[in-house]
Amino acid sequence: MFDIYNLDKKFRLVYDAISFIDGSNIKNDEMVVDECIDQYELWKDYYEDWRENQGLSRELQGIITEIDMEPTYTNEIKQTNMDNISYEFISLKTDEDILQFAKRYGMLGLLPDFHLGELTLQRTHFEPFELWRSEIKKFTKILKLYRALSTNNEKTENIIEDNIIKVSTDTNFAGWYEIYWYDNTPVRKSFPEQALHQMSMIDIGRIILSEKLQEYTKGIDLKIDKIIKSEKNKMGFYITEKRETRYLITAIYYDLWDKINSNVPVNICANPKCQLPFMKIKRQKYCSNACKQETYRLRKGGE
């Protein structure tokens, strides 16, 4: 069995146990299944350039999933509340943060597809920390784009163009202009010159935001929730629906989608060494308690 995420009621049905794994020991661990080793080798190929820069003796570290035997013994399936999961995801900074988050919420559910040249939604047994850090960076960029679009004033156009996304100066092989993030990584979106002349950076930003949300929420399944008797219905009953997914990354982006529709504000962390965006659920000025404590130490040190 694999985890199931209820997107309407925001909880995780826990079937999997998560633990840390060092790649140098992965083949000697009796609890590691063959699928886990296969996926580890797949990620080694995916991060080949990274490993060359680090030295080929460097093995990947990450998290693995094992079947949680507790439900078998107790005949009870644990539920974990996922409210504000997107807020928690973007605040992860260290490998230990990622490990503890994964133990609570599960695996992201992403694997590289070399034929398509992209990551795809899959049930996973191994995920490297590099994948998590990469996805957190992507999520941060999307959140910054959302924050810029939500300003919705005369400065929005300049904010997006100066700090969020930019248009390539040259065309690609198809004669279209590529869109890049502020750090020169590709958005994987392009436009023909004629279309660009008719669009503002706000228009481009809106398209990118909506498509990125759609890209990660493809893993949603619409299922029957309840069959309810009703005299008002000609059939004598009606059916309610529920949205579920098997992928944590889908649950994270669906939570962001929900917060965007609810106009949840995005602030910048007040820690001068962080300054990452975060969703302001309460009155906090910092993205995490660690940033709050670090700012306090910086302030005391400057006195």
Of the candidates 132, 131, 150, 158, which has an alpha carbon nearest to the alpha carbon of residue 277? 150
| Calpha distance 155→19 (Å, rounded) | 46
| Calpha distance 114→181 (Å, rounded) | 23
Task: Show the tokens assigned to 204.
Answer: 């481009």
Task: Classify residue 186 as left (phi > 0), alpha (psi -120 to 50) or beta.
Answer: beta
pTM, rounded to two decimals: 0.88
Q: Domains of the chain: which residue ranges?
A: 4-264, 268-303
Instruction: Give the pLDDT of residue 120.
Output: 94
Instruction: Give the pLDDT of residue 116.
Output: 78
Instruction: Give the pLDDT of residue 235.
Output: 81
Instruction: Give the pLDDT of residue 67.
Output: 64
Give every residue of the chain whose pLDDT is below 50, as ranges: none
The amino acid occupying position 73 is: Y
Polymer length in residues for the chain: 303
Instruction: Give the pLDDT of residue 73.
Output: 53
Task: Show the tokens assigned to 62.
Answer: 């990450």
List, as own/partner pairs, every contact residues 259-266 make where C-beta atoms lie below 8 angstroms and the sequence separation is at least 24, other chains included: 259/86, 260/146, 260/213, 263/150, 265/150, 266/143, 266/144, 266/146, 266/147, 266/150
DSSP letters, 34-53, are: HHHHHHHHHHHHHTHHHHHH
